[in-house]
A and B are shown apart, each in its own frame.
Chain A
Amino acid sequence: MIQIAGLSHCFSDNVVISYPDWQVADGEHSLILGASGSGKTTLLHLMSGLLKPTNGSVIFDTQEINQLSPSRMDKFRGAHVGLIFQKPHLIAALTVKENIKLSTFLGKKPEHNRHIEEMLDSLGLIELAHRKVHQLSQGQAQRVAIARALINHPKFVFGDEPTASLDDESCMKVVELLKRQSDQHGATLVIATHDQRVKNHFSNKLEL
C-alpha cells in the first residue's frame, strides 16, 4: 500500500505545491491525472523517492521513505521501485539485453539469463535482444524500458507519461502491458498522465 499524507513541495523559486492525501492499495492500478504543469511529475518523483518532500510523508506499506538516508533511498528504489518515463532513455552504449542486465545489477538482484529472456519474450522483444538501442522504434524502445523497470519484480511501478509519445495503437498496447505485467508480478501501479486515452482504463484516479 502507498499512502501520502500532508504532502507538499517547495521549489527553489519559492513556489509551493500541495497535494491532497491519497492512497493506493496493494496491487491496485491507479492514475494521477492533470494538465501539464499541475505537478504530476513532481508528485511521482516525491512518491518514488527521487525528490524529498518539504512537508508530509510518503509511506510504502509501513516504511516512511522520506525518512531514509539518500544512499538507503537509492538502494530501496533499486530493490522495490520500477520507473518508466515518457521517453525510454535506454543507455545507448548497451544492447537491449545489456540494458536489462544493468537494471538487475543496479537493483542488486541476481542476473539470471533465463529470467531476462522470459521477460524479453513476454514483451515480444526476444528477437531484438542483441540490437543496439538506436536500431529500435519508439514503441519497441518503450517496451524495453518497461522490461527494464519490471525485471527486478518491484513491488511498486511508477509511470510518468509512459504513453504520451506513442500512437493510439502503441498507447493501448503499453497500457495493457503495464497492467498485465503488474498483475503478473503482484506490483502496485501508479501512472501520472494527461493522456485522455488511458483515463477509462483505471478506477482509482487522483485529479490534480
Chain B
Amino acid sequence: MNIPLLSLKSILSRPLSTLLSWLLMSFGVTIVVLILLVSAQLKNEISKNAQGIDLVVGAKGSPLQLILCNIFHVDFPTGNISLKEANNLSRNRYIESAIPMSLGDSYRGYRIVGTTKAYGDLYGAEIQSGQWFEEDMKAVVGANVANLLGLNLGSQFQSQHGMSEEGEEHEEQSIIVAGILAPSSTILDDLILVSIPSIWNVHEHEEEPGEHEGEIIDLPKLGIAVSQEQLEEEEITSILIKYRSPMAAVMLPRMVNEVGNFQAASPAYETARLFNIIGVGVDVVNIIGILIVVISAISVFIALLHSLKDRKYDIAIMRSMGATRRQIFVHVLMEGLLIAILGCISGLVLAHAAIGILAFYLEKLNLSWSFFVNDEVWVLTGGLIIGMLAAIIPAGLAYKTDISKTLSKA
C-alpha cells in the first residue's frame, strides 16, 4: 500500500463523479491540443507552399483569392492576364525570376497547371519515374495524383474544363503522362503539371493544334518560347515572382497595379491576413476548450469537497493510525492530480487520433497524427496545474482535520 495507490482506489470508489471529471478534462485537452496541432500544421503547410514566392501577379479581383488559387490551389482563378503584358512586366529589373501559371482545367478533381519546370524546382521537386515534359501535351503528375487516380507513365487522359469533377471534357486532346514526381509534402503532390502551350492547345477547338506560323520567340524570363501570334493573343492566369532586391517589395507592387488589369498580391501579407480572419474562430474554439478544462477542475473540486464530508472520519482514523498531516494532504491532492493526469493523457491521445482521422478524410490537408508541437507540453503542464489547484483546497481542509474532535463526534 502507498499513497498514490490509495488515492487511485479512492477515486475508483466514486466511479461516476470520477468519470465526469475525467471526461471533461479529456475533452477540454483534446480541443485545445487539436486546435494547436491543426493550426501548427496548417501554418507549416502554408509556409512550405509559399516559400520562394514573393509576389503573385494576376488579374484584378480579391488579392486573397489570387493567393489561394495560384499558390494553394483551393480557390478559383480571378481571371486571365495577357501574355504580352506579363512578358513585359517580367523583364522588370526588380524581378529575379518569374514563373508563368495557367490554371482552369482539372482531371477528376485534380488541378492541371500549365507552367514550366521552374515551378517544380521552386519546391525542389524530384522525378520518381519518367522525365519532365519536353514537349506539349505531356504531363508530370504529383505523387498523390498518380497514386489515387492510378496513373502510370504513358497513361492518357482528357482534361476537364473547370475545377470540379463534373467539368466538361476536352475530348479532342489527350494528355500523356511523361513523369511522376516523388512525394514532397507540398502542393505539388496534388497537381498535374503540363506546359503552358498545352493548356492553350486543349482550348483551341477550331484551329489545328500545335501548328503556328511565324518564327518562334523566346521569352527568357518566363522560360517559354511562343510564336508571335501566341504572344499577341494568348493569356495566362498569373506569374509567381521572386524579388531581386528588398527594394522590389516597395516598388514592384505599385508598378504592377498600374498595368492594365494587373494586380499584385503578397503571399506573406495575404496569409497573415487569412490567419487573422481565421484567428478569431480559432480563439473562440480555444476558449471553449480551456473553459471545459476549467469546468473539469470545478467538477474535481466539488467531487473532492463532497467526498471529504463522508471521509472526514476516515481521515481522522488514518491519522490515528500514524498518518502525518502531510501524507493526508498529498493523498487528497493526488486524487485531483490523478484525474488531471489521466484526462491529459487521454485528451492528447484523442487529439492525435482525431488528426489521424481528419488526415484520412481530408487527404489534401497533409495532416499527420504523429506530428507533435512543443506547446503540447504546456497544455499538459497547464492541465496538471489546474487539476492540482482544484484539489488544493480540499487537501488543505483534509490537512487541517481535527482528529480528536472528528473522532468524538462519531
A: residues with CB less than 8 A from B are: 41-42, 45, 48, 50-51, 70-71, 74-75, 77-79, 83, 85-87, 89, 91-94, 98, 101-108, 111, 148, 160
Contacts and interface: CB of A to CB of B under 8 A. Distances in A.
B319 interface: yes
A85 B10 CA distance: 22
5 contacts: A50-B404, A71-B325, A74-B323, A93-B9, A93-B10
Contacts of B322: 74-75, 77-79, 106-108
Interface residues on B, range: 20 to 34
Given A93-B13, A104-B1, A41 B408 contact: yes
Return the 4 tightest CB-CB contacts between A and B, nearest first.
A78-B322, A93-B13, A105-B1, A51-B404
Contact of B6 (A42, A51, A102): A102
B314 A78 contact: no
B320 interface: yes
A42 B402 CA distance: 13
Interface of B: 1-2, 6, 9-10, 12-13, 313-314, 317-327, 403-404, 407-408, 410
Nearest to A158: B320
A145 to B, nearest CB: 9
A41 B408 CA distance: 7
Contacts of B408: 41-42, 45
A50 B9 contact: no
Contacts of A89: 313-314, 317, 410
Contact of B321 (A70, A93, A107, A111): A107
A41 B325 CA distance: 22
Interface centre among A79, A101, A106 (most CB of B within 10 A): A106
A158 to B, nearest CB: 9
Contacts of B404: 42, 45, 50-51
Contact of A102 (B1, B320, B324, B326): B1
B320 A75 contact: no
A71 B325 CA distance: 8
Contact of A45 (B2, B6, B313, B407): B407
Contact of B314 (A70, A91, A103): A91
A106 B13 CA distance: 20
A146 B410 CA distance: 18
Contacts of B13: 92-93
Interface centre among B321, B325, B403 (most CB of A within 10 A): B321
B407 A111 contact: no
A16 B10 CA distance: 39
Contact of A106 (B314, B318, B407, B410): B318
A95 B239 CA distance: 76
B400 to A, nearest CB: 12
A48 B10 contact: no
A101 B1 CA distance: 6
A75 B322 CA distance: 5
Nearest to B314: A91
A27 B338 CA distance: 45
